[in-house]
Amino acid sequence: MKPVRTFLPVFILFSALLLVSCATEPAPPAFEPEVLPLPSDPANYAPLDGFEAMSIPADNPLTPEKAALGRQLYYDQRLSGDGKLSCYSCHVCENGLTDGRPVAIGAFEKVLTRSSPSMWNIGYHAEFYWDGRATSLEGQALAAWKGGNMGADPDQVVAALNQIEGYKQQFQNVFGSNATAENVAQALASHMRTIISQDTPWDRWQAGEEGAVSDAAKRGWEVFQQANCTNCHSGVLFTDLVYHNVGIGMDDETPDVGRYKVSEADRDMGAFKTPTLRDISQSAPYFHNGSVATLEEAVDLMLAGGIDNPHLDTANLQPTELSDEEKADLLEFLRSLDQPCEPNVPKLPE
Ligand code: HEC
Ligand code: HEC
């Protein structure tokens, strides 16, 4: 009996020490997301004169914390089916927030049929994709994630995200729940609503800074308006957000029907959403099928009145003759829409 009695206090002391050492063991540092201020007041999201306020769904209010979470997800390759792509992979700064390829190559090397569009000011759009088939940014984000672009199984990815402490904390903090396919899409959409171009040399000139652009660019802005480019590339978004047939790809063996697939209206055959011209000099190659390599050729094609076909939007687009100097000025104006861009890759939870 004696050995047991002397052993007991030792055992208690040892257990107590163990407890103390467990309690003082430093917990792994909590993930600190980098939360950026929103580019503008979310209640009245109209950063510049001329921008309509952004329409933000009532069930997905924009907060800095949610945009920060969405930004991490947007840059995280763990969201894709093959672990190799993030949303950002195809919407890259150096390429005007496109991917620099004629048509995109999705997860598992899947060759897609269309070119990556720019993300600048995407939160101001009401319909998404070249054919506008998605009617909310949340719906679009979910589709891009599940579809050929990212090739992911959202349930599987969400389960993995919920194993990552830094993400789990943020989902709890932002949504009051674990990650779900829906709230991932909501966070992604929130980040995308902060991708704003409002500070190009052209914007600064419009705001009164005379020296922000060259005289050639100023003359080019006049040419742009006189050539009726503004019929479609209108307002500060440089898009009317409407679909037009300008003839691209219509002579293919099986042409991409574009908006027609959604509306089934004859006038929408081969019509695509007018792309923004912000950062356009960076986003080669051009058009929905990436068929044109340089900005000069793309502009020549538009000046020629598009490519003739039975559905061409001749009401808005007619051939325009320009002198070499006017054309050079027009290009100089387009380059004044370049948007300074830094990748701004966020730190991701491990
Ligand atoms: C493999 C390249 C690729 C990846 C990865 C990718 N995208 Fe895209 N994205 C595209 C292409 C191509 C389109 C146009 C498809 C179409 O119009 O049919 C597009 C279209 C979009 C649009 C609509 C733009 C517009 O003008 O209407 C948004 C928004 C978008 N992507 C966001 C995302 C998000 C969010 C992710 C990540 C979940 C993502 N993309 C991942 C290539 C990619
Ligand atoms: C009828 C409406 C309309 C008019 C007018 C118009 N555009 Fe476009 N533009 C479009 C559409 C639609 C596209 C995309 C077509 C496609 O990819 O099939 C486009 C594409 C472009 C592109 C390539 C954009 C990209 O991201 O690939 C450039 C550059 C361009 N237009 C410049 C101009 C210029 C310069 C003018 C005036 C000379 C002009 N456009 C007049 C509707 C128009």
Task: Kindly list the distances between the CA atom of residue 322 and the CA atoms of 107, 215, 295, 319, 337, in Å, as whole numbers in the listed order.
Answer: 43, 18, 16, 10, 21
Residue 106 CA, closest ligand 1 atom number:
1
Confidence at residue 149, expressed as pLDDT on a 0 to 100 scale: 94
Please say if the pLDDT value at position 3 is more than 50: no
Q: Which two structure tokens, joined as six digits, stand for 71?
A: 């930004």
What's the rounded mean pLDDT across residues 62-82? 97
The closest ligand to the CA of 181 turns out to be: 1
CA distance 167 to 162: 7
Are the beta carbons of 187 and 70 closer than 8 angstroms? yes
Give residue for tokens 């480019």. 229
Is omega for the bond preceding 28 within 30 degrees of 0, making it cis? no
Residue 241 Cα, ligand 2 centroid: separation in angstroms?
A: 12
What's the rounded mean pLDDT across residues 256-274? 97
CA distance 321 to 300: 10
- What is the rounded end-to-end Cα distance, in angstroms, of the chain? 53
Residue 231 CA, closest ligand 2 atom number:
5
Ligand 1 lining (C-beta closer than 6 Å): 85, 87, 89-91, 99, 104-106, 112, 114, 116-117, 122, 125, 128-130, 140-141, 144-145, 149-150, 188, 192
CA distance 42 to 54: 8
Ligand 2 lining (C-beta closer than 6 Å): 227-229, 231-233, 244, 246, 248, 272, 274-275, 280, 283, 286-288, 295, 298-299, 302-303, 313, 316-317, 320
Please say if the pLDDT value at position 1 is more than 50: no
What's the rounded mean pLDDT across residues 230-257? 96
The closest ligand to the CA of 226 turns out to be: 2
Give residue for tokens 């052993």. 7
Q: Which two structure tokens, joined as six digits, stand for 229?
A: 């480019």
CA distance 336 to 329: 11
The whole-chain average pLDDT of the chain stands at 91
What's the rounded mean pLDDT across residues 325-330? 98
Higher-pLDDT residue of 46, 257: 257
Please say if the pLDDT value at position 167 is more than 70: yes
CA distance 222 to 88: 35
CA distance 122 to 189: 10
- Considering only CA atoms, which of 29, 30, 52 is closest in space to residue 40? 52
Residue 44 Cα, ligand 1 centroid: separation in angstroms?
A: 26
Burial class (CB in 10 A: 0-12, 13-18, 19+), 117: buried
Give residue for tokens 């793309």. 298
Are the beta carbons of 232 and 239 closer than 8 angstroms? yes
Are the beta carbons of 59 and 81 closer than 8 angstroms? no
Are the beta carbons of 45 and 62 closer than 8 angstroms? yes
What's the rounded mean pLDDT across residues 60-72? 96
Confidence at residue 37, expressed as pLDDT on a 0 to 100 scale: 85
